[in-house]
Amino acid sequence: MSHSPNPNDQNDQNPDPSRRSRSLSLPEFFFKEQALKHVILKMHHHHHHSNQSNQNNNHNNHSNHNRHISLSPTPSPPSSPEPTTDLTALVVDPPAPNPTSLLSDNVLNLIFSKLPVSQYPSNSLVCRRWLYLHGRLVQSLKLFDWSFLDSGRLFHRFPNLSDVDIVHACIRVPRNAGIIVTRKYFSVHLDSSLSRDRFVGEEDLLPSRVIDSGLKSLAESYPNLRRLVVIGASVDGLSSVAKECQLLQELDVIACGDLSLKGISGCMNLQIMKLIGFVDGFFGSVVSDIGLTILAQGCRRLVRLELCGCEGSYDGIKAIGQCCQMLEELTLSDHKMDGGWLAAVSFCGNLKILKVQSCKGSIDSRPGPDEHLGSCPALEALHLQRCQMRDKQAVRALFLVCRGVREIVLQDCYGLDDEVFGLATVCRRVRQLSLEGCSLLTVEGLESVILSWKDLQRLRVVSCNKIMDSAVTPALATLFSVLKELKWSPDSRSLLSSSLAETDLRKKGGRFFKSYKG
């Protein structure tokens, strides 16, 4: 219904002058144009067909309008939207009877795109045309009901998806399950009938052939797919995705196992990948060196890789380092890697950020001799979150591999005492340090390291309870004064009590208890 009539040739289609007794507003004018054409059509139709032809068109409203043919406009003020309904009772085809039908799809889409996505459901229920338009605007979706995909309604309703997450649809859960279990990076709805030792077991996942066939339809319907999150698929499903979706850039693969990764090797443009192998209490698939090597050889354009609950060792990491020359960010979460993997990180020639998260055991149980560790040439940042740092050999090996970093972030790491932190002096180029939740570290330990870092410019120390303001030495204070950026709030207790003092809460509490006792 896109209208941009050429200003030149519209003049000869002006309506009969005798009917222009008053100036018409735009809606009425347009409807006269449309109505005129449709009336002529309808008059022809009336000779040959009965009125029944109207019923077939599902864009008509279903009210019982008297469908008499009228050529004169209903007199009423131009700004009210009501007058058009009588006129358009005779319209057989769309537009539906309302002033927004004047607006082309493009203009309506411009308006809709200014509204929040949360309003799309209610907007879609306004009328069919809006449902149609909104469906085409939605680009990113999380699926919860497998039959919505299976029946094809997903493709029909939303033809322009570029980002699809089918994980929750693949887990069989009763519809009104009121419990949400979140484990690290994964959350799922459950009901209360837990009879097994796992939250979600293999029996709760759809069989992989079902998931594969769903993936095949998905891939065929969305060749421009950019991001996909999938669970429990096998080679067939993943290879149909790789074949049809050449633009796929981001892929999250959960519980798919080593050999299924063969399917991904066709994804030439894949840049961001997240592989979740094993999650405690949930799935137990294995990703090992085999899978890592298959992945490395297939997706050489990887820029960001996250491995969660994956096994593997030196060989797997080496394959990744050697094949994925563009890899810039590597994250290992809850890793189950064999000892000795750290030494392979130096193969990642372009790696800028290394993140190790949720490491309960040692970071690397057998790092090997220093000469074989090498160092990661382009590394700029090292982030350790929720890691156990008692194994000094492992921590030292890690710092050696990362000796060129400029930024170190240590968050909620345990076992990080002064001696362990002292190992960080091997990194001579640190410009930025962030410490949060490191409860064993003292001022002495901190001082001995950061005074040796000549390039230090930014420091952040939050909630490190053993670091006392009173223990800050003059040397340290001088250093603080030359820093570009300093955030110093080590004592979380003092933070809490100072904010409480502002609210006068403590005092009130005291009074309350006093009177209660009495």
Partner 1 sequence: MSNTSENPKPSSSSAKMTLKTSDNELFEVEEAVAMKFCTVKQYFEDEKDSDVAARGSTTVIPLPNVHSAVLATLISYGKKLPQSNAVADNHEEEETKKKERKKYEQGLLKNLMPGELLDLISAANYLDFKEGLEFFNQALADHIQNKSVEYVRKFFGIKNDYEPHEEEKYREEYAWAFEGVDED
Of these, 52, 55, 56, 79, which contacts partner 1 (CB under 8 A)? 79
**Separation between Cα atoms, residue 427 and residue 449, nearest integer Å:** 10
Min dist. Cβ of residue 440 to partner 1 (A): 36
**Separation between Cα atoms, residue 14 and residue 293, nearest integer Å:** 72
Nearest to 447 by CA among 423, 469, 475, 415: 475
Nearer to partner 1, 78 or 223 (CB): 78
Nearer to partner 1, 164 or 402 (CB): 164
Nearer to partner 1, 141 or 247 (CB): 141
Mark 372-403 as b/e (b = at least 16 C-beta within 10 Å): ebebbeebbbbbbbbbbbebeebbbbbbbbbb
Per-residue binding letters, 7-26, with partner 1 (x by CB under 8 A) = xx-xx--x--------xxxx
Of these, 18, 48, 52, 62, which contacts partner 1 (CB under 8 A)? 62
Which residues does 250 contact at the CB level (< 8 Å), separation at least 6? 226, 227, 228, 270, 271, 272, 273
Phi, psi of 233 (to 5 degrees): -90, 165
Q: Is 286 in the site for partner 1 (CB under 8 A)?
A: no
> Could you tell me how many residues make up the chain?
518
Q: Is 37 in the site for partner 1 (CB under 8 A)?
A: no
Min dist. Cβ of residue 112 to partner 1 (A): 8
Per-residue binding letters, 306-345, with partner 1 (x by CB under 8 A) = ----------------------------------------
Min dist. Cβ of residue 79 to partner 1 (A): 4
**Separation between Cα atoms, residue 324 and residue 185, nearest integer Å:** 25
Nearer to partner 1, 114 or 454 (CB): 114
Neighbours of 241 (CB within 10 A): 26
User: Taking the mean position of all CA atoms in its chain, how far away is CA 228?
Assistant: 10
Structure tokens given for 511 = 């009074």
Query: Any idea what DSSP says for residue 171?
Result: B
Of these, 19, 43, 49, 81, which contacts partner 1 (CB under 8 A)? 81
Of these, 34, 38, 42, 60, which contacts partner 1 (CB under 8 A)? 60
Min dist. Cβ of residue 191 to partner 1 (A): 15
Q: Is 163 in the site for partner 1 (CB under 8 A)?
A: yes
Mark the segment that binds partner 1 (CB under 8 A) among 36-44, 56-64, 182-190, 315-323: 56-64
Min dist. Cβ of residue 306 to partner 1 (A): 18
Neighbours of 484 (CB within 10 A): 10
Nearer to partner 1, 262 or 274 (CB): 274
Nearer to partner 1, 11 or 52 (CB): 11
Nearer to partner 1, 80 or 498 (CB): 80
**Separation between Cα atoms, residue 155 and residue 148, nearest integer Å:** 9
Which residues does 3 contact at the CB level (< 8 Å), separation at least 6? 30, 102, 104
Q: Is 150 in the site for partner 1 (CB under 8 A)?
A: no
Min dist. Cβ of residue 246 to partner 1 (A): 23
**Separation between Cα atoms, residue 251 and residue 97, nearest integer Å:** 44
Of these, 4, 18, 52, 503, which contacts partner 1 (CB under 8 A)? 4
Nearer to partner 1, 173 or 462 (CB): 173
Of these, 51, 61, 498, 499, which contacts partner 1 (CB under 8 A)? 61
Half-sphere exposure of 287 (CA within 13 A, CB side): 32
**Residues 126 to 145 in contact with partner 1, rule: CB under 8 A:** 126-128, 130-131, 138, 140-145
Nearest to 184 by CA among 345, 395, 335, 287: 335
Of these, 45, 59, 301, 336, which contacts partner 1 (CB under 8 A)? 59
| 254 φψ region: left (φ > 0), alpha (ψ -120 to 50), beta (else) | beta
- Nearest 10 degrees: Cα torsion 6, 7, 8, 10: 80
The amino acid at residue 50 is: S
Nearer to partner 1, 144 or 488 (CB): 144
Q: How many residues bind partner 1 (CB under 8 A)?
A: 72
Min dist. Cβ of residue 378 to partner 1 (A): 28
**Residues 100 to 129 in contact with partner 1, rule: CB under 8 A:** 100, 102-104, 106-107, 110-112, 114-128
Structure tokens given for 147 = 């039959």
Q: Are 363 and 398 in contact (CB under 8 A)?
A: yes
